[in-house]
Amino acid sequence: MMSKTFIGDNHVFLLMVLLTSMTAFTTAFTIPILPTSVPHTPLHSPSHPILISNVLTPSEANSLASSFYDIYSNAILPMQTKIDQTVYHEDVPLSTFLNTVNTSTHTSPIFCFAEGLLSDSPLSSDLTSIRDSVFSPFDPDWFQSFPSSIRPTDCVVLSGAGSTSTLHRDPFEWTGTSLCLSGKKTWRFIKSTPAIESTLSMKRVPSIAWCEIDLSAGWESPNTLFSIVDSFVPAGLTPEPKTSDDLRPDIPLPEGTEVYEVTQNEGDFIIIPKNWIHQTYSTVSSLAVASQRCGLGDVKSVMEHMGERAGVEVELPEEFEADDMEGILGRVLEKVGVEYDEDELDG
């Protein structure tokens, strides 16, 4: 287990890519770098997507990745393979996935999204320490006060070259995070608005985090921000983009839409605030751990979201105490039939 402080020589990037429409879609831009202040002033929950580089050094990231592969070599993972626009699902050992993922391409991508795999993992304390070091100690993660049965879990994301995530907005109105342990991937973000959600045909999708317990739902689009452009593909050749510059949204976006882009490398940490639609694309194979937190700025929206799903009226005062949240959470859990130990609601 690692015991060192993980945040040191890092930089904070604002994701400042303006990619307005298919006709004006360009990646000729500069991402500004803020002064390295994070080690002295950890972040509160931001309102804009942020990338923090070198939260882990390459050797630290590779060490965690190697530990993951060693510990879970025989774990069964849900592998997804997309062929001719049809997604095929197969449960395979991690070792089989790693042997197969090398065949992943843009036209036949291979992907794995393993929710809950790291529950009670020996890697959990390291991952928690890394995330906590980024945020202010005065802005704790309120999800840690949830009963363990409904506490959101880390998700392992294994992406083959050419694979994308879905174009989506996270459930729960939480703050999402992603730590890249190997490889790299490109992220694109759009601030959610009614016009954008209508254009992208966003639909509510119940969260898979708690199986049959309906406590949250995200938003998902059938579209993509990473469609290949025919003009980039020479006649007779298989379309395999080399960089994200070869990829565009598959539909025109509303006039003035701002699309933000950044490349996440191993050791980089991304923070995704609530209400940001996002999608990733991997030009090479990658391993990342996705997580979520409920900071002070998220508590009200998280409680309201859970209340809406459960059919419980939620009135959380602007100046709330731990007891206020515990009372609401208790009523929500009782409504959806979740048994819990009252000692777990410890604020």
Tens-digit pLDDT profile for residues 130-155: 988 888 888 888 888 787 777 788 89
Mean pLDDT of 107-135: 89
- pLDDT over threshold 80, residue 2: no
Is the CB of residue 216 less than 8 Å from the CB of residue 309? yes
- Confidence (pLDDT) at 216: 73
Which residues constitute the domain of residue 58? 11-296
Q: Domain for residue 155, yes or no?
A: yes
**Model confidence pLDDT, tens digit, residues 195-213:** 999 999 999 887 655 555 6
Nearest to 169 by CA among 312, 305, 328, 13: 305
Q: Domain for residue 331, yes or no?
A: no
Q: Domain for residue 323, yes or no?
A: no
Strand order in the sheet with 203-206: 203-206, 217-221, 167-169, 276-281, 184-191, 259-265
Which three-class secondary structure state does DSSP give residue 275?
Answer: coil
Give the C-alpha distances (Å, rounded to integers) separating 104 from 58, 80, 97, 220, 243: 24, 11, 11, 23, 16
Mean pLDDT of 299-313: 80
Number of domains within the chain:
1
Whole-model pTM: value is 0.83
- Report the C-alpha gap between 60 and 66 in whole angstroms: 10
Q: Domain for residue 318, yes or no?
A: no
Q: Domain for residue 157, yes or no?
A: yes
- pLDDT over threshold 50, residue 7: no
Angle at the Cα of 39 from the Cα atoms of 50 and 15, rounded to 5 degrees: 15
- pLDDT over threshold 50, residue 114: yes
> According to the per-residue pLDDT averaged within each range, which of 37-46, 178-187, 204-213 is highest?
178-187
Is the CB of residue 29 less than 8 Å from the CB of residue 17? yes
For residue 34, how many other CB atoms are within 10 A of its CB? 12
Higher pLDDT among residues 20 and 275, named by residue:
275
- Confidence (pLDDT) at 346: 55
Q: Domain for residue 328, yes or no?
A: no
- Confidence (pLDDT) at 145: 78
Q: What is the CATH number of the domain that holds 261?
A: 2.60.120.650
Q: Domain for residue 319, yes or no?
A: no
- pLDDT over threshold 70, residue 79: yes
Give the C-alpha distances (Å, rounded to integers) separating 242 from 73, 106, 232, 254, 299: 30, 10, 10, 27, 41
- Confidence (pLDDT) at 179: 96
Mean pLDDT of 238-267: 80
Q: Domain for residue 314, yes or no?
A: no
Q: Regarding beta strands 286-293 and 155-159, do their DSSP bridges make them parallel or antiparallel, or are they unpaired?
A: antiparallel
**Model confidence pLDDT, tens digit, residues 284-295:** 999 999 998 888
Mean of per-residue pLDDT scores for the chain: 79
- pLDDT over threshold 60, residue 17: no
- 330 pLDDT band, cuts 50/70/90, is confident
